[in-house]
Amino acid sequence: MASQRAQRVAETIHKEISNLLIKGLKDPRIGFVTITSVDVTSDLRQAKVYYTLMGSQDERDQTQSGLNSSSSFVRQQLGKVLRLRHVPEVHFIYDASFDYGQRIEKLLSEVKADLQEDD
């Protein structure tokens, strides 16, 4: 279980990266990204930033490249806000849960349609 401090840092990172995506990151490879969650280790040295994105696999790959290349800038900006001795290293990870949800929704719709045809 994450400490309260780690949770507060994660919430701050979530908010600041969301703001950076709106205002500060000008990389054309980064698409319309939504930050879904942030996990920070208990020693506050690593932060996993989970994001989701609508688009093709190619667009996801491009966005991942853009986010990875911007991680040092993001870390620098976080350092200004967090005021910690060690600013966490930021790792961007694609959150596929939205894709899984869409797939399940599609399968349920197909099953429902098949059941209605049988009636």
Q: Determine whether domain 4-118 maps to CATH 3.40.50.150.
A: no
pLDDT for position 84 = 85
pLDDT for position 27 = 85
CB 47 within 8 A of CB 89: yes
Where do the domains of the chain lie? Answer: 4-118
pLDDT for position 2 = 64
Strands of the chain (E only): list them: 33-40, 46-53, 89-94
Per-residue pLDDT of the chain (119 residues; tens, 9 = 90+): 468 989 999 999 999 999 998 887 888 898 889 999 999 999 999 999 999 988 888 999 999 999 999 999 999 999 998 888 889 999 999 998 887 888 898 899 988 888 888 76
